[in-house]
Amino acid sequence: MRAFVRVKVPASAMSTAKDRASPATLGHMRIDDLRTPAALVDLEKTERNASRMSERATLLGARLRPHVKTHKTLEAARIQVRGHFGGIAVSTMAEAAFFADGGFRDITYAVPIAPARLAEAAALARRLDRFAILLDDPAVADAAEACARDRGVRLGVFLKVDCGAGRAGVDPELEAGVALAGRLASSPHLDFRGILTHAGQSYRGRNAAEIRTVAAAERDVMTGFASRVRRAGVPVGEVSIGSTPTLSVANDLAGVTEVRPGNYIFFDATQVAIGACALEDVAFSVLVRVIGRYPRRRELVVDGGALALSKDPGPVHVDPECGYGTVLDAVGEPRRGLRVVSLSQEHGVVRSARDLAPGELPIGSLLRIVPNHSCLAAALFERYAVVRGPDAVIAEWRPVRGW
C-alpha cells in the first residue's frame, strides 16, 4: 500500500509563492513554488526510516506500535505500520479521534489521562477493536472503572511505569505500583493490557554507547517490574517501551513485547547529535528564504522564526553551539559554517563562520533548516509539502492539531 500517492490534493490547496492567477499544479511543483516557511517531508527518507525501524523491531522480537505524534498524519502512520499489526500510539485525544476516523483500529493514548477525558475514551473503546489509556494513580483507576461501568464498555488500560525519566509513572521499586497493577487486573470493567514506559532520559545521552546503557536499563526495569507483578499473581500481557534513541541502538529486548518509537520517522538535529541517526537520515526540514543580508556582521535573516522551528534549545549537552537547527542548502545538502543563532517570532538569524562572498545567498535564496525537535516544529504547520528527490513536491499531508 502506497497511501501517499493516493492523496489527491487540488493545486489551489497547496500554498504557493506565486500569484494565484497561475497556480503551479501539484506534480509539477518544485520547492521554489512554495510559500515559506514550509514544512518539507522527504518521502524516500521517511520510508527508509520506517523500514529500518520495522526491521529492528522484528529483529528484536517486539511488535511495533509506532507513535504518530511526530507527524500526526494518516499518510505517515500508514507508512509506519506497514508489515506490522497496525496498532499505533497517540499523544492527544484529538489524534485518537482523527486516526480512528482514518481507519486505524488499535490505538493507545500514551499520555496519562485526565479524568475529564474518560467519557471520550469510553466512546473510542466502544468504536475501535482496541483502545487503551494509561494511568499511574489509584484515583484515576477508580474514575476509569466507574466510567467504563457506567457506559457498559471494557476499557483497555496500561499501567505507566517510570523507568528513570522522572516524569510520569509508578516507581517500580515501590509496592504501590504492584498493588495498582493488581487493582487494574481485578476490575471487571477494565482490560489490564500490561505495563508501559518511555525512557525520556535517553535524550540526555551523548552518544550511542550512553544511550545503549539507558536502553538496557529501560528493558531491565520493565522486565524486573513485570516479574514482580507476576510473582504477586497478576498476569502482565504487554511490556511496552518506546523511545527513538533507545530503539535505534538497543541490541537485546528480551522480555519486551512491544515498542512505540515515534520520532524516528523524521528524526531531527537532536537525534543526529546524540548518535541515534545520521544527518542524511533526517526526513523533515523547514524551507525558508533569505529576507535580510548583513555581510558586515556575517549574518542573514530568514523567514523561519520561532513559529516555524520552535524554540526547542536542542542538544546543548552535546553541542553548546547548536543553535536552533542545522542549516542545509535548498536541495538538502549540508551548508557547513552557517548556524541559526537566534529566533524571534517570524525571523531567524543565520550567522556565517566566514565572510559572505559577494552574491552569496542573495535575498530570496532558499535554505532548509533541520529543526532541533521535529515533533515540535512539525506541529507548527497546517500542511507538509512532501518532496521526492532534491526538489519535486509530490503531495501534501495535513496533520491533525489540538487536543
Which three-class secondary structure state does DSSP give residue 237? Answer: coil
Task: Rule CB under 8 A: say whether 116 interacts with its own copies.
Answer: yes
Within residues 283-312, the interface with its own copies by CB under 8 A covers 289, 291-293, 296-297, 301, 303, 306-308, 310-312
- What is the distance between the alpha carbons of residues 83 and 86, in angstroms, rounded to a whole number? 8
Which three-class secondary structure state does DSSP give residue 58? Answer: helix
Task: Rule CB under 8 A: say whether 349 interacts with its own copies.
Answer: yes
- What is the distance between the alpha carbons of residues 57 and 81, in angstroms, rounded to a whole number? 11
Task: Rule CB under 8 A: say whether 220 interacts with its own copies.
Answer: no
Quick one: which of 166, 233, 320, 358 contacts its own copies (CB under 8 A)?
166
Q: What is the largest CA-CA distance in the chain?
A: 74
Candidate ranges 221-229, 230-238, 251-259, 337-345; the one touching its own copies (CB under 8 A): 337-345
Closest to its own copies by CB, 355 vs 382, is 382
Closest to its own copies by CB, 286 vs 395, is 286
Candidate ranges 40-48, 134-142, 218-226, 251-259; the one touching its own copies (CB under 8 A): 134-142
- Across the beta sheet with 63-64, what order do the strands follow? 63-64, 258-259, 238-241, 190-196, 155-160, 130-135, 106-112, 88-90
Within residues 313-332, the interface with its own copies by CB under 8 A covers 313
- What is the distance between the alpha carbons of residues 293 and 331, in angstroms, rounded to a whole number? 21
Residue 265 CB, shortest distance to its own copies, in Å, is 14
Quick one: which of 186, 363, 389, 390 contacts its own copies (CB under 8 A)?
363
Which residues, at least 6 apart from 85, have a Cβ–Cβ distance to it below 8 Å? 63, 64, 65, 106
Q: Which three cell numbers stand for residue 173?
A: 521499586
Q: Is 383 in contact with 14 (CB distance < 8 Å)?
A: yes
Candidate ranges 31-39, 48-56, 228-236, 249-257; the one touching its own copies (CB under 8 A): 31-39
Task: Rule CB under 8 A: say whether 270 interacts with its own copies.
Answer: no
- What is the distance between the alpha carbons of residues 320 and 152, in angstroms, rounded to a whole number? 54
Residue 201 CB, shortest distance to its own copies, in Å, is 11
- What is the distance between the alpha carbons of residues 234 and 265, in angstroms, rounded to a whole number? 35
Contact residues for its own copies (CB under 8 A)?
Answer: 15, 17-19, 35-37, 69, 91-93, 111-117, 119-120, 123, 136-137, 139-140, 166-168, 171, 200, 289, 291-293, 296-297, 301, 303, 306-308, 310-313, 342, 344-347, 349, 362-364, 373, 375-376, 379-382, 401-403
